[in-house]
């Protein structure tokens, strides 16, 4: 490969080539597959040297340019989300402030005493012993429940 | 704490992106005239890839397709720039860059060894020239030379590095 093209490709990748040089390079690249391979090798070298330069900077300073991609978390909520939350909070405050008036005006309050009484009745019914299928004397444990007989 | 589905999706993307990032950068660089263009397109392509990522698909093929589209769209805004190659050549370079992917990966690996073979002042110079934000005229002034002579020195170093990586790969293939 002619030294001339090494020079021209490098001038092009540095952004130094004139309009005439760029046109000549384009014409030569369109015709010559070997020259295209050289051009692509130089472009690859350019990218690799960029990465090496960056790595050297990171090693020196401990900092560098890193591509970051945001994680898909709650941070991705729309930016107007805080305003919606604030509005909802205000609306809730207003509703709570109005609630006592409604409670005083309501005629359909449940009768708490009746509910308590009904509940107590239900509990009392549940606490009744279930009817036995056998007479008391047939129970093997009935004698244990009888008061002890003290011999006279 | 158990990783959520979102975390797994994110981690899967990062793994795939990191695996193919260098090849994508070479591919994009081959299509565009300057490093700045390539950097802009790469950033834009990375955003599109992240937004539309689905782990089920063939990531490499899909990523190259996305990067090609982003690069071509970027070039459409610069059709009047005489340094921009025509669409036919750009697409041909893109196709050949994909075909040469393994060779380029081997060259990137060989570069580390070749950089170590350079004399220390030359290695320091080339790494300084490729550090982000370095201005060549300022670097030349620091070294007490003209920008033109600095460029010529860098050309010789790059050519030596390219010959070194090509020779290294040829030797590896031979052995």
The string of DSSP letters for A3-35 reads: HHHHHHHHHHHTT---HHHHHHHHHHHHH-HHH
Q: Which of A13, A54, A73 sits opposite B132 (nearest CB)?
A: A54
Measured between CA atoms, how close is A54 to chain B, in angstroms? 6
**Average pLDDT over chain A, rounded to whole?**
71
Q: Would you say the C-alpha torsion B73, B49, B37, B158 has a positive or negative sign?
A: negative
Sequence-distant (6+) residues with CB within 8 A of B131 are A53, A54, A56, A57
Angle between helices B35-51 and A33-61 (to 10 degrees): 80
Which of residues B88 and A135 earns the better pLDDT score? B88
Q: What is the DSSP string of A45-94?
A: HHHHHHHHHHHHHHHHHS---------SSGGGS-TTHHHHHHHHHHHHHH
Chain A residues within 8 Å of chain B (Cβ atoms): 6-7, 10, 12-17, 19, 22-23, 26, 29-30, 33, 36-37, 39-54, 56-57, 65, 67, 69, 71-73
8 A C-beta contact, residue A33 and residue A39? no
Average pLDDT over residues B18-43: 95
The interface predicted TM-score (ipTM) is: 0.91
Sequence-distant (6+) residues with CB within 8 A of A1 are A34, A35, A38
User: Which pLDDT score, from 0 to 100, does residue B78 have?
Assistant: 87
Burial class (CB in 10 A: 0-12, 13-18, 19+), B174: exposed
Model confidence over B77-106: pLDDT tens digits? Answer: 988 898 999 999 999 999 999 999 999 999
**Average pLDDT over chain B, rounded to whole?**
92
pLDDT above 60 for A88: yes
Residue in the block written with tokens 């397109």: B41
d(CA B146, CA B141): 7
Which of residues A137 and B71 earns the better pLDDT score? B71
Give CA separation, A68 vs A65, B43, B50, B81, in Å. Answer: 9, 10, 10, 32
Q: Which of A23, A53, A71 sits opposite B6 (nearest CB)?
A: A71
8 A C-beta contact, residue B149 and residue B140? yes
Identify all chain A residues contacting B159, using CB atoms and an 8 Å cutoff. Answer: 6, 10
Residue in the block written with tokens 């093209």: A5
Show the tokens assigned to B94. 């893109």
Show the tokens assigned to B32. 């565009």
Angle at B74 between CA B70 and CA B79, to 5 degrees: 140
SS3 (DSSP) at B43: helix
- Reported confidence tier of residue A123, pLDDT bands at 50, 70, 90: low
User: Which pLDDT score, from 0 to 100, does residue A106 have?
Assistant: 46
Terminal-residue alpha carbon distance, chain B: 50
User: Which pLDDT score, from 0 to 100, does residue A74 have?
Assistant: 47
d(CA B50, CA A107): 61
- Reported confidence tier of residue B143, pLDDT bands at 50, 70, 90: very high
8 A C-beta contact, residue B108 and residue A43? no
d(CA B11, CA A71): 9
Residue B90, number of CB atoms within 10 A of its CB: 20
User: Which pLDDT score, from 0 to 100, does residue B140 have?
Assistant: 94
Alpha helices in A110-152 (DSSP H): 112-126, 142-145
CB contact under 8 A, B26 and A47: yes
């Amino acid at each position: 490969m002619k030294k001339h093209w090494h020079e021209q490709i490098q001038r092009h990748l540095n952004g130094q080539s004139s309009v005439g040089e760029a046109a000549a390079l384009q014409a030569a690249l369109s015709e010559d597959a070997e020259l295209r391979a050289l051009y692509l090798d130089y472009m690859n070298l350019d990218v690799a040297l960029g990465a090496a330069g960056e790595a050297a900077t990171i090693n020196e300073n401990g900092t560098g340019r890193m591509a970051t991609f945001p994680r898909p978390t709650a941070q991705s909520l729309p930016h107007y989300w805080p305003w919606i939350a604030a509005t909802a909070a205000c609306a809730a405050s207003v509703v709570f402030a109005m609630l006592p008036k409604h409670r005083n005006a309501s005629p359909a309050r449940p009768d708490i005493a009746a509910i308590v009484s009904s509940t107590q009745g239900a509990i009392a019914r549940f606490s009744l012993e279930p009817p036995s299928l056998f007479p008391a004397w047939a129970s093997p444990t009935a004698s244990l429940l009888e008061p002890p007989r003290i011999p006279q | 704490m158990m990783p959520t589905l979102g975390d797994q999706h994110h981690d899967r993307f990062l793994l795939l992106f990191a695996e193919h990032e260098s090849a994508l950068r070479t591919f994009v660089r081959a299509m565009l005239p300057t490093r700045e263009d390539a950097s802009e397109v790469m950033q834009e392509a990375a955003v599109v890839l992240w937004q539309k990522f689905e782990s089920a698909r063939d990531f490499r093929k899909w990523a190259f397709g996305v990067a090609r589209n982003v690069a071509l769209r970027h070039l459409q805004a610069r059709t009047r720039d005489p340094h921009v190659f025509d669409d036919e050549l750009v697409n041909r370079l893109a196709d050949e860059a994909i075909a040469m992917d393994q060779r380029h990966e081997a060259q990137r690996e060989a570069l580390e060894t070749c950089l170590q073979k350079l004399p220390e002042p030359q290695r320091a110079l080339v790494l300084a020239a490729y550090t982000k934000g370095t201005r060549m005229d300022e670097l030349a002034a620091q070294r007490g030379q003209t920008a033109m002579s600095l460029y010529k020195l860098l050309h010789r170093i790059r050519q030596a590095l390219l010959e070194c990586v090509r020779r290294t790969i040829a030797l590896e293939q031979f052995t």
